[in-house]
Structure 1
Amino acid sequence: MVFKSINNRTPPYLADLLVRDVPSRSLRSSDLALLTVPRTRSRLKGDRAFAAFLGLPTFFPCFLSFLESEMNCYSLVRVPRNTVFLAPVMSVLKINCTITLYGCHRNPRVSWCKLYGDVCTSLNYSNHLRNEWTNITEHEGMTFLVFLNISMEDTGFYRCKEGDMSIGHAINVTVTVPTTVHTPPNDGLQWLWYFVYICSGIVGLVFIVMIVSFLYIFIRQDLQVKGDSSKEKLNKDVYMKRENNLGRNQAQLEELILLWKLQTNVTLNI
Structure 2
Amino acid sequence: MHEWRDMRAFALRGIPEVQPQDDIAAHIVKSMVEMGETWHPTDIVVVAQKIVSKAEGRVRELDMIAPGKAAREIAEKSGKDARKVQAILDESSEILRVVRCKPDGIVIARHHSGWVCANAGIDESNLGGSANRLLLLPVDPDASARRIATGIEERAHIRPGVIITDTFGRPWRRGLVNVAIGLSGVTPIIDWVGEKDAFGRELLVSQQAVADEIAAASGLLMPKDAATPVVVFRGLHWRANPHASARDYVRPLHEDLFK
TM class by smaller structure: under 0.3
Normalised TM-score (structure 1): 0.20
Normalised TM-score (structure 2): 0.21
Q: 1 or 2 for the larger relative contact order (CA 8 Å, sep ≥6)?
A: 2
Answer with 1 or 2: which has the greater Rg. Answer: 1
**Larger helix percent:** 1
